[in-house]
Amino acid sequence: MIMKKCIEFNGVSKKYEVGEKAFYALDDVSFSIDQHEMVVILGPSGAGKSTLLNIMGGMDHVTDGKVYMNDVDISGYSEKELTEYRAKNIGFIFQFYNILPTLTVKENVDLIRDVVKNAKDSTEILNKVGLNGQENKFPNQLSGGEQQRVSIARAIAKNPKLLLCDEPTGALDSNTGVEILKLLRECTKDNTVVIVTHNALIADVADRVIRLKNGKIIENVVNKQPKNIDEVNW
Ligand SMILES: Nc1ncnc2c1ncn2[C@@H]1O[C@H](COP(=O)(O)OP(=O)(O)OP(=O)(O)O)[C@@H](O)[C@H]1O
């Protein structure tokens, strides 16, 4: 089977000027991620993981190099083009929840229908993240982990080409974390999923593991036989 590329980085650098000195958060990074892959990005604090995610998500510009989404170069995009790129292609799951306090759980997820045409059914996704029966509650009536699941549900309901996740299971107990990982795995049927995490166990269930250190890729390996999520001792 020929794999199509979802995203490709070609010689990408991100430089910050700190006083007189140049600091490279990403230093000549090249890799590609195929459509339908579940990819884990690992690395110590400050390695450049968030910078990488932000560039993939069209939230930050590169200093050098090219970034392609479905073979289209996005690295020269204007702010307006990046806004459209994000709206059309990207779903984010972040540690902060980003849900609106004046809307119910279901309304928060249904919001995405204003952004994309092919959104998934909110009731079905809310069931899958374990929030059935909570659809009409307001965020302040939910625990932190439940609020995080609302934002996860909305990102998944968007049905984005590329789902970017920064510590998606961080605020969750291990059972819920496992359920969310299963859901992310299910998303790879339609989408591509990239997860930044400090949890090395998640690497065992991924299709590809990219390890960063000091802004460079020190490992990029394909897991020929990713473990089943239920096989891992979380
Ligand atoms: N706006 C900025 N100005 C200067 N340096 C920055 C800026 N943003 C990030 N950096 C630096 O770039 C490096 C990479 O940061 P990044 O947030 O990508 O790391 P990370 O791997 O995500 O770390 P963590 O696991 O702690 O979130 C860090 O050393 C950080 O201090």
* Cα separation values, 158 from 119, 131, 189, 232, Å: 5, 17, 14, 29
Which residues lie below 8 Å from residue 128, measured CB to CB, with a gap of 6+?
Answer: 153, 156, 179, 183, 186
Would you say residue 234 has pLDDT above 80?
no
d(CA 150, ligand 1 centre) in Å: 27
96: Cβ below 6 Å to ligand 1? no
47: Cβ below 6 Å to ligand 1? yes
Quote the ipTM score: 0.95
pLDDT digits (tens, 9 = 90+) for 103-123: 999 999 999 998 898 999 999
pTM of the model: 0.92
Residue 219 belongs to a domain: yes
Residue 8 belongs to a domain: no
Closest CA to 209 of 37, 39, 38: 39
CATH code of 69's domain: 3.40.50.300
Range of the domain at 180: 32-229
Closest CA to 64 of 79, 78, 56, 76: 76
What's the structural domain count of the chain?
1
48: Cβ below 6 Å to ligand 1? yes
